[in-house]
Amino acid sequence: MNLRFTLFFSFVAISIATLSGQVLLDENFESGQLPAGWEIQTSASDGGWIVGSVGAISSQNFAVPANGSSNIIGSNDDSCNCNKSNDLLTTPPIDLSGQGSVVLTYDVLYTDNTYGGIDENATVEISLDGGTSWTIIEEIPGANEWVTYGISLSDYVGQSSVMIGFRYTDGGGWLYGIGLDNISVREPAALDVELVELTSPIFGEVGKEFPLEGSLINAGGDPITELEFTYTINSGIPTVETLDNLNISAFENYTFVLQNAWLPETEGNFTVEVTITAVNGGVDENVDNNTLSFTTDIFGEVIVPNKISEFISGGTPEITEISGASVLLNGPTDLDFFPVLGRDQLWVINEEVENTGGSTVMITGAVAGNPTFDRRVDGNAWHFMSLPTAIAFSDDNFNFATSPGVQDANHSGGTFTGPSLWSSDLDIYAMPSGGNGSHLDMLHGSPLSRGIAHEVDNVFWVYDDWNKDIVRYDFVDDHGPGNDYHADALVRRYSNMGISGDSDIPNHMIIDKSTGWLYIVDNGTDRVLRLDINSGAVSFTLPLINEPLTEHSAMGGFTFETIISDGLDRPSGIEIIGNRLLVGDYANGDIKVYDMDNDYVEIGTISTGQEGLTGIKVGPDGNIWYTNKLQNSVNVALPGNEISNTVDQLREINLSVNPNPTSDVVNVKISNLDHNSKVSIVLTNISGQEVYRVDNASATTQVDLSPFHNGSYLLTVQNDKITQTELIILNKQ
């Protein structure tokens, strides 16, 4: 069996070349010539494989990034557009007789792409008869960066003449190409584990467990059964953890998660260092590749207050437009707060115009009241962010995704577009990458996408108005800034739900991650529905759309239902806080509030007073932040003053209402009540109908709600000077 391991250049400096053991082949092509004993077989007019700089090997559609070498060897079909159906590069014969464990490592830049319906292909092959016949030992995977792959050659130990071949074929089409470098055959150390990558987040919060996780490779010849890790915070006292009962074969990748997570106690910037300190109870033969570190910013935990009752009882809300934002806005369609709320960072997405693409405006200090602004336009926004309708952050890795309102990202009448994935790292996003803008990934099966919601990691749900589907897009591993490998993606379609769009108004979406329900605004039929994302199963495989994928499936047997069917004119925005569902109406600027625990009964309206409302979001302060596309504004709504003007007086009499929610009665208690004061208690339903009233109430009054239906009620306590209203939830068992 041939086992492969993988090292990504962007994560780690390759150190396997420093291992002890006999070196049987080591070629880096730095001479600028085809090395002695190496051979090329080709039908291509350019000679097939060429040794040269990355610039010399590159072309417009096959750009080879720098890898630290002066020269590499490559075959470029994009430049030649000739017969590269059989470009074979072969090593001299290698004597493996008398060897124990042997490994081949090589660096490769190969995208494994498709053009015009034809696939390119690349393989690693072995010949034991001087090159007369060849056996494929590896199909080279595609990636949009330099990668080091390793293959065990132990199956061929004892052979005295082993040739290794690297074969590239364009399938008879006009494709891209391949680059190779640092090809080595050597005897590995017996015990060598390489810490490849730490995937922990770069931001965290006080009091929340901070995961320590990553990946490693058994780069040695012996299996690994036990690993000892230590980690330190700012070079402090080490925390030690042992992972045992392992079975990591030679040259196998392994993903780890330490159970003893770090629990930050204070805010600040911290350096986290992780080290593998022992392997199989002993010493690693190469300790130079056992340690990695990163820095992270820890912010104070923010608990979002639920002010919805205050909004409902407070009358007309106080609306404030964020000063200084409007000059940077051009058709804002949505907004989202960075998931670590202590950063106080609000992102707004602009529709802009089709041919140049959309933009984002990052507002730092929005909640604190001292906002600074950063408007960014990606260099290739015309394709990757054309007419964006929505934005959603991943609270797992802090990437964000956008949905395109355009039919064709190439603007040529086709249907080549879909959601894009972006990094929120400001050193990456909208910065030059040397490739196709700064996007991390894009999938091209959903034209006219009107909304997007995050599930987990790099998984996002999209409303596809072209196909009238809800689509689950799993980007899996992003391809890196500006690259174009999409073949690892998993795409699942949920069809025949009757959803449609209303012009270019967004159909915003949100997932309640505590329940697994996806809430969807359907502004084509002016309703709200929900889909159980954990229901259903794959019915059948769908034809690929525009690109190769790992999966493209139709789902069946899933559960969905309409939860709101009236009272909305042109719904757009949607948000959840606690057991309250908020739905914004583009037509009039109203935000309707629904009780999620009681059949989504409407319990109030928060009016912004202006047509054009698109995205809505409850901020870290509990206030409602929203965009208005027609007014070209981003705004914040605070609860109104109708009740708050009397707060001090009410506190003096200390009103309490409990239990709430209730299954039958509530006890209304007014402390320090002036005996000469006449107090009334009034209970109304959400339609404003009075269902209960008592005048000249005593300091303690019991209100019996058992005759009424489940739902939400407003209980108002008032006298000639003051009024206070409390929202009561009746939930009879």
Whether 481 shows a pLDDT value over 70: the answer reads: yes
Q: pLDDT band at 472, cuts 50/70/90?
A: very high
Cα distance between residue 662 and residue 731, in whole Å: 6
Distance from CA of residue 17 to its chain's centroid?
35
Segment 663-691 shows an average pLDDT of 78
In the chain, what are the domain boundaries? 4-186, 193-299, 308-638, 646-730
Q: In this predicted structure, what is the pLDDT of residue 721?
A: 61
CATH number for the domain formed by residue range(s) 646-730: 2.60.40.3080
Q: In this predicted structure, what is the pLDDT of residue 479?
A: 85
CATH number for the domain formed by residue range(s) 308-638: 2.120.10.30
Structure tokens at 86: 């059989």
Structure tokens at 377: 């336009």
Tell me the per-residue pLDDT of 625-647, one tens digit each, with 9 for 90 and over: 999 999 999 999 999 875 333 33
Tell me the per-residue pLDDT of 386-425, one tens digit each, with 9 for 90 and over: 999 999 999 999 999 999 999 999 999 999 999 999 999 9
Cα distance between residue 362 and residue 351, in whole Å: 15
Helix (H) or strand (E) holding 214: strand 213-218
Cα distance between residue 223 and residue 244, in whole Å: 13
Whether 2 shows a pLDDT value over 70: the answer reads: no
Tell me the per-residue pLDDT of 130-159, one tens digit each, with 9 for 90 and over: 999 999 999 998 887 898 888 889 899 999
Q: How far is CA 71 from CA 33, 54, 165, 218, 384, in A?
A: 9, 7, 20, 29, 33
Q: In this predicted structure, what is the pLDDT of residue 674?
A: 61
Q: Smallest Cα–Cα separation from 601: which of 561, 562, 563, 639?
A: 563
Do 143 and 110 contact (CB within 8 A), yes or no? yes
Burial-class residue 364 by CB neighbours within 10 Å (0-12, 13-18, 19+). Answer: middle
Q: In this predicted structure, what is the pLDDT of residue 717?
A: 83
Asked if 193-299 and 646-730 have one fold, the answer is yes
DSSP state of 78: H
**Lowest-confidence region among 35-39, 373-377, 529-533, 673-677:** 673-677
Whether 649 shows a pLDDT value over 50: the answer reads: no
CATH number for the domain formed by residue range(s) 4-186: 2.60.120.200
Q: How far is CA 499 from CA 452, 466, 584, in A?
A: 14, 11, 18
Topology (CATH level 3) of domain 193-299: Immunoglobulin-like (2.60.40)
Cα distance between residue 614 and residue 572, in whole Å: 6
Do 533 and 511 contact (CB within 8 A), yes or no? yes
**CA quadruple 288, 289, 290, 291: dihedral positive or negative?**
positive
b/e burial code for range 213-232 (CB count within 10 A of at least 16 → b):
ebbbbbbbbbebeebbbbbb
Segment 11-28 shows an average pLDDT of 61
